[in-house]
């Protein structure tokens, strides 16, 4: 049986009835992937009468037939699009098919709920092409072609940024996108389409690699989600939210801020990014608050893909900025250490043994550090 019929591709956004080998469902055809997977929203189990919120995935091998309906809960006027066929006939159809299977899902027309959020339209026009910062990224939504090379590239890195997007991102929520950026590449892993197999096929190895530093902002949520849903134990993490608090404490002589900063606030503070990115982030948050299920729409709006890529790219840049700031105190104290002996008379050194061969009190380091902190506060 083939799901690549052009008539089925034209049924996107229309109610359909699926007859499976072990039941029957109906719902609105949300998306038809190149690897013969079918997604329905507003799904109803015709045997139990129960409705399922969100989007449900069906595989080609379990589908006996697909029908397009005039409306939900109505079988009148149904047009049979595909029928159960023998394996030989199905293979023949695949060889002759020149339809949707060869097309990228991102070039297909979008299918959105009837109540498409207004903010999505405003996001498209909030920035002109000249004003919007363009960034190259790769969407990873299938295993054979793009997934393997992406994981191979990540395994060769020493520092990457990791961002997760979804609904209620924790053990009780749902992860839709995982953005990972390196110095030269940005990958947007479509976890909604790839499923848990994405982690088993290589992402878990990257996220658990002790030799790869993962830059994350507020790692608590995604750490909980990855561990309880995908058995991934994050390690070697540089948390920019924690680093921002630490920098504040060092700069104020031990005080802590009243609250932690969001990623957007950290980007504005440490990178001084243009206000256009601030507008893009605010618009993205408005879209997500109006319709949290937007993270599970496929094809995904290109304007939001751009925002996901920029977020991962800027997070990597904020790590460099924070590291420079955190290391500045160490550098200053080391500079005082460099001058501690060589700028003096040297008379007192004749009776002093090298610290390489004996231990000595750390009071000099402490005093240098205190002087540096005092000068900063003043």
Domain-wise residue ranges, the chain: 6-89, 117-247+259-325
pLDDT of the residue at 53: 62
Residue 90 pLDDT more than 50?
A: no
Residue 30 pLDDT more than 60?
A: yes
pLDDT of the residue at 29: 83
% pLDDT > 90, the chain: 26
CB 211 within 8 A of CB 160: no
Looking at per-residue pLDDT, the higher value among 54 and 167 belongs to 167
Residue 118 pLDDT more than 70?
A: no
Residue 362 pLDDT more than 60?
A: no
pLDDT confidence bin for 178, thresholds 50/70/90? very high
Alpha-helical runs (H) found in the chain: 6-9, 87-96, 118-126, 148-155, 191-194, 197-198, 204-207, 219-230, 240-251, 263-271, 275-290, 302-342, 363-377
pLDDT confidence bin for 307, thresholds 50/70/90? confident
% pLDDT > 70, the chain: 67
CB 40 within 8 A of CB 11: no
**Residue 144 has which token pair?**
């054979």
The whole-number average pLDDT for the span 116-136 is 52
The whole-number average pLDDT for the span 176-185 is 96
3-state secondary structure 235-283: CCEEEHHHHHHHHHHHHCCCCCCCCCCCHHHHHHHHHCCCHHHHHHHHH
Cα torsion angle, 274, 280, 283, 284, sign: negative
**How confident is the prediction for the chain on average, in pLDDT?**
74
Residue 73 pLDDT more than 90?
A: no
pLDDT of the residue at 114: 39
Of 31-35, 182-186, 244-248, highest mean pLDDT: 182-186
C-alpha to C-alpha distance for 88 and 304, rounded to whole angstroms = 42
Residue 124 pLDDT more than 60?
A: no
CATH 3.30.420.10 fits 117-247+259-325, yes or no: yes
The whole-number average pLDDT for the span 32-54 is 78
Q: Kind of pairing, strands 237-239 and 213-216?
A: parallel
CB 16 within 8 A of CB 27: yes
Of 162, 146, 169, nearest to 206 by C-alpha is 162
> Hunting for tokens 């070039």 — which residue is that?
107
The CATH number of 6-89 is 2.30.30.100
The whole-number average pLDDT for the span 144-149 is 88
In this predicted structure, which of 90-94, 191-195, 269-273, 350-354 has the lowest mean pLDDT?
Answer: 90-94
Radius of gyration in angstroms for the set of CA atoms belonging to the chain, rounded to a whole number: 28
The whole-number average pLDDT for the span 2-13 is 66
Residue 78 pLDDT more than 50?
A: no
CB 316 within 8 A of CB 160: yes
Residue 175 pLDDT more than 90?
A: yes
pLDDT of the residue at 335: 78
Longest dimension (CA), the chain: 103
């Amino acid at each position: 049986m083939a799901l690549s019929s052009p008539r089925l591709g034209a049924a996107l956004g229309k109610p359909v009835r699926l007859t499976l080998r072990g039941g029957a469902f109906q719902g609105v055809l949300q998306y038809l992937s190149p690897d013969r997977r079918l997604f329905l929203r507003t799904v109803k189990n015709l045997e139990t009468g129960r409705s399922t919120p969100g989007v449900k995935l069906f595989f080609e091998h379990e589908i006996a037939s697909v029908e397009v309906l005039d409306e939900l809960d109505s079988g009148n006027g149904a047009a049979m699009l595909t029928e159960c066929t023998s394996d030989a006939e199905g293979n023949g159809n695949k060889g002759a098919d020149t339809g949707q299977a060869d097309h990228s899902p991102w070039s297909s027309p979008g299918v959105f709920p009837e109540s498409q959020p207004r903010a999505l339209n405003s996001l498209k026009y909030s920035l002109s092409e000249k004003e919007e910062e363009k960034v190259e990224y790769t969407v990873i939504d299938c295993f054979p072609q793009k997934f393997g090379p992406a994981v191979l590239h990540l395994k060769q890195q020493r520092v990457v940024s990791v961002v997760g997007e979804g609904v209620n991102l924790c053990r009780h929520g749902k992860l839709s996108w995982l953005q990972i950026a390196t110095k030269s590449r940005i990958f947007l892993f479509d976890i909604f389409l790839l499923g848990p197999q994405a982690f088993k096929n290589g992402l878990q190895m990257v996220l658990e690699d002790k030799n790869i530093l993962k830059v994350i902002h507020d790692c608590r949520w995604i750490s909980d989600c990855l561990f309880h849903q995908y058995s991934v134990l994050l390690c070697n993490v540089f948390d920019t939210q924690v680093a921002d608090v630490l920098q504040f404490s060092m700069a104020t002589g031990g005080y802590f801020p009243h609250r932690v900063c969001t990623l957007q606030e950290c980007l504005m503070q440490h990178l001084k990014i243009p206000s256009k990115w601030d507008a893009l982030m605010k618009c993205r948050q408005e879209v997500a608050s109006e319709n949290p299920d937007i993270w599970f729409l496929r094809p995904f709006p290109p304007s939001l893909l751009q925002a996901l890529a920029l977020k991962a790219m800027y997070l990597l840049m904020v790590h460099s900025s924070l590291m420079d700031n955190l290391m500045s105190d160490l550098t200053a104290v080391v500079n005082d250490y460099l001058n501690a002996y060589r700028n003096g008379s040297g008379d007192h050194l004749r009776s002093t043994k090298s610290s390489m061969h004996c231990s000595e009190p750390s009071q000099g380091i402490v005093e240098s550090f205190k002087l540096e902190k005092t000068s900063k506060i003043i």
